[in-house]
Amino acid sequence: MKISKSTIVLLVLMLIFSILIANIADLINVNSHFLDETTEDNNGEIQWIGPKYYNIKDSYNHLIWFLQITDIHISIFRDPSRLSEFKEFCNVTVNSIQPKVVLASGDLTDAIVKDGFGSKQEHREWQLYRHIIGETNVSRKVLWLDVRGNHDNFDIISFDSQNNYYLYYSIQGTNHPRSYMYNVHTGLETYSFIAIDACLKPGPKRPFNFIGILDQYEINRIQQLINRSKESNAAHVVVFGHYPTSSIISQADTNIRSILGSHKESMVYLCGHFHMLGNMVPNMYSLQKAGFLELELADWKDNRMYRLAAIDHGQFSFIDIKHNDWPVILITNPKNVLFMMPQKENLESIIKSTHVRVLAFSTVPLKTVEIQLDNDFWQKCDHVNGPLYVLPWNSTRYKEGIHQITARVVDNEDRRKIVSYSFSLDGSWLSASILPKLVLTVNIVYILQFLFFITLILSILPLCFLRFVHIYYKNNRKKLPRRRMKFFHSWLRKLWILCTIDRVFYGLMLYILYFAVGPWTVGEIIEDHLGIIFVWGTFIENMYLPGGLTYAYGFLQLLCFHLPLIFTLAHQADHRLRDTECPSRVVSKFRIVGRFLPILILILLQAVLGYFLYLEYGTTAIILCPLRTGSIIVAASLSYFVTTMPVSYLRSAASVWYPNGVIDNNNAIQ
């Protein structure tokens, strides 16, 4: 049976796509079975070597709870309620929940200037942050652990810069300019909280300050902190930072995921930064293959969210809460099946537990705390101490399959809250949403690089291939294949004609290749410090920052400018040849406008983006800017050349498309 070329191409594309999907699935897949953490000692007896076993009863021991808030973005130019409600959080929320620790995981201030495009550290914003912390006295009531985010690092050339206000106005910056650790002692146990600072060194202005970096020095520092937590016999370790691990570049032999996975007491990594990707990906949680939970918290800036988390008898639980949404409930036993950590937690503790455990909070006393298991009747919980309520249960009734637990709380102001989720005691698993897994698991920089190189190939190879095919047909005097699809044939003709025009073809190829390797712009990447931006990295004086978000800009530039420019020029070249076919044809004004409108839109788009670049990096950045100014010059000059070139430049294309005719001295095909 004869197999057509198109079938072979389709099969190859399907194979490549299948391999890509398989690799992504393998990357985000986490084994849902609970690990067999046993071994034999010298006497042949089985010993448990996995996570520590706790006897979960109605005890108030082995319990700690804490809060997380992220992306506060205190601003002196916009949304005053952001500041006033942050004050309420420090005053009312913290006083009502009384956590041991509050984690403020970056972007404490906004650092965006009034026009909304430029960026720099605003002294007044940092003063406001420190003023609220001091006025509410919150840092004396609880252990307040803050760490920098990318906005706190805008326009900072070095740690000792005068505008690095984090050193002077944050709670921890004076003693801990970067990553650090605190041990919290509760009862007989110690809990370690490790802050990870992955901010760039130096910190450029926006927008190319989105990806975090951990160099070898900082990786070693984090490893030292982990080792110190082991030496202090910490029962559990909570790691937090601003950047999700998917947006952190590691310049060392290892990365943060492998470090956290190798330390069995490291339970979770708490972060922010993504702002739910513009509310498109809420509940951004993932169990990493290394065994720990990574939990991105929605921002305070626009969504006013915070997180309540607890470690209760070795089981980590959490809930994300809207500001001023009372009462607050957190079920700690049994825990949500979606967030089980078989490598970090002991399922046996839940199976053999004697009580359901709930933490409940409100600004006023509580009336009732009730539990419903599956569809049974509601049962009232007993108050133990503080926010802890318990209910005796027979866990063997729920030992198989997936079950439902629901908690209901009513306070003295008759405000009600109901929380419900599924739990499992036999290792049964429920699939979580795949999109949050992708965002938190797949390395974002690799994805951006992949998209950039794919669009780069699409911008170069088709024209090069058509030029090669054109030379083959022209030299061998072969006929073109007959038409099958009119639309495809029409655009094949347009691109074919374009690739035969030497000046346009080489101009496009050289500019696209330059775009991939040459500098994009030279400007004040940091105030009073010139830098050079390439797609693969940025040089600021004698310092180098590897490319991250630059690949996203490169991808969008190729997709929204270079590729449309190629099709626009091809369309213009085709019309030039059509005018040659019928020189007496009258072209309406409407068609003339339609012919030049696309190129005008492309030029206008680059001009607008160039203006934004001027606001971000200054006048020099727009003058010495092949990225924007160069694109306008290239688009305008190539379009002008195509529409005004002598028709003799089309002779090569005409020899293939009109093998029986020639271009005469009057620029017409005979």
pLDDT in tens, 310-325: 999 999 999 999 999 9
Residue 267: phi, psi to the nearest 5?
-90, -45
Helix pair angle (444-476, 502-517), 10° resolution? 160
Judged against a pLDDT cut of 80, whether residue 535 lies above it is answered with yes
pLDDT in tens, 111-167: 999 888 889 999 999 999 999 999 999 999 999 999 999 999 999 998 889 999 999
Per-position DSSP letters for 144-205, written without gaps between them: EEEE--SGGGTTB-STT-TT-THHHHSSSTTT-SS-EEEEEEETTEEEEEEEE----SSBPP
Q: Is 567 helix (H, G, I), strand (E, B) or coil?
A: helix
Cβ atoms of 628 and 521 closer than 8 Å: yes
Its sign, for the CA torsion 132, 134, 140, 144, is: positive
pLDDT, mean over the chain: 86
Which residue from 524, 548, 527, 534 is spatially nearest to 200, judged by alpha carbons? Answer: 548
Cβ atoms of 417 and 408 closer than 8 Å: yes
Measured in whole angstroms, the distance separating CA 580 from the mean position of its chain's CA atoms is 52
Give the Cα separation of 261 and 48 in Å (integer). Answer: 19
Hey, what's the torsion of the CAs at 617, 621, 623, 629, to 10 degrees? -100
Which residue from 105, 68, 154 is spatially nearest to 272, judged by alpha carbons? Answer: 105
Band of pLDDT at residue 587, cut at 50, 70 and 90: low
Band of pLDDT at residue 40, cut at 50, 70 and 90: very low
Give the Cα separation of 79 and 323 in Å (integer). Answer: 16
Residue ranges in 618-660 assigned as alpha helix (H) = 619-623, 629-644, 651-657
Beta strand 248-250 with 293-296 is: unpaired
Give the Cα separation of 148 and 150 in Å (integer). Answer: 7
Distances 475 to 468, 469, 524, 652 between C-alpha atoms, Å: 11, 10, 53, 11
Of the listed ranges 143-147, 193-197, 339-343, 415-419, the one predicted with least confidence: 339-343
For residue 137, give the DSSP letter. T
Mean pLDDT in residue range 519-537: 92
**Helix (H) and strand (E) counts in the chain:** 21, 27
pLDDT in tens, 252-308: 778 889 888 887 778 899 999 999 888 888 889 999 888 899 999 999 999 999 999
Band of pLDDT at residue 47, cut at 50, 70 and 90: very low
Predicted local distance difference test score (pLDDT) of residue 528: 87
Helix pair angle (629-644, 589-617), 10° resolution? 160
Q: Residue type at 71? A: D
Provide the CB-side half-sphere exposure for 226 (13 A, CA). Answer: 21
Judged against a pLDDT cut of 80, whether residue 23 lies above it is answered with no
| Tokens linked to 204 | 């450029």
- Residues of the chain with pLDDT > 90, as a percent, come to 58
Give the Cα separation of 444 and 250 in Å (integer). Answer: 12
Which residue from 165, 145, 141, 144 is spatially nearest to 155, judged by alpha carbons? Answer: 165
Which residue from 59, 35, 32 is spatially nearest to 49, judged by alpha carbons? Answer: 35
Judged against a pLDDT cut of 50, whether residue 655 lies above it is answered with yes
pLDDT in tens, 471-522: 887 777 666 666 565 667 788 888 888 888 889 999 999 999 999 999 999 9
Predicted local distance difference test score (pLDDT) of residue 635: 93
Residue 602: phi, psi to the nearest 5?
-60, -40
- Residues of the chain with pLDDT > 70, as a percent, come to 86
Give CATH for domain 359-442. Answer: 2.60.40
Predicted local distance difference test score (pLDDT) of residue 88: 96
Which residues face 48 on adjacent strands?
38
Of the listed ranges 25-29, 85-89, 122-126, 562-566, the one predicted with least confidence: 25-29
Judged against a pLDDT cut of 70, whether residue 251 lies above it is answered with yes
Beta strand 189-196 with 236-241 is: parallel
Predicted local distance difference test score (pLDDT) of residue 107: 93
Predicted local distance difference test score (pLDDT) of residue 65: 96
Question: pTM for this one?
Answer: 0.87
Judged against a pLDDT cut of 70, whether residue 536 lies above it is answered with yes
Band of pLDDT at residue 187, cut at 50, 70 and 90: confident
Give the Cα separation of 441 and 294 in Å (integer). Answer: 9
Predicted local distance difference test score (pLDDT) of residue 44: 47
Give the Cα separation of 328 and 178 in Å (integer). Answer: 33
Give the Cα separation of 563 and 456 in Å (integer). Answer: 9
| Tokens linked to 472 | 């083959």
Q: What is the largest CA-CA distance in the chain?
A: 102
Cβ atoms of 520 and 527 closer than 8 Å: no
Cβ atoms of 288 and 432 closer than 8 Å: no
Which residues face 147 on adjacent strands?
105
Judged against a pLDDT cut of 60, whether residue 100 lies above it is answered with yes
Q: Where are the domains of the chain?
A: 359-442, 444-657
Band of pLDDT at residue 32, cut at 50, 70 and 90: very low
Q: Which residues contact 609 (CB under 8 A, 6 or more apart)?
A: 628
Of the listed ranges 307-316, 340-349, 580-589, 628-637, the one predicted with least confidence: 580-589
Measured in whole angstroms, the distance separating CA 538 from the mean position of its chain's CA atoms is 20
Predicted local distance difference test score (pLDDT) of residue 9: 47
Predicted local distance difference test score (pLDDT) of residue 46: 37
Judged against a pLDDT cut of 90, whether residue 358 lies above it is answered with yes
pLDDT in tens, 401-458: 899 999 999 999 999 999 999 999 887 777 777 888 888 888 899 999 999 999 999 9
Q: Which residue has the higher pLDDT, 46 or 566?
A: 566
Predicted local distance difference test score (pLDDT) of residue 38: 41
Judged against a pLDDT cut of 70, whether residue 186 lies above it is answered with yes
Cβ atoms of 363 and 96 closer than 8 Å: yes
Judged against a pLDDT cut of 80, whether residue 377 lies above it is answered with yes
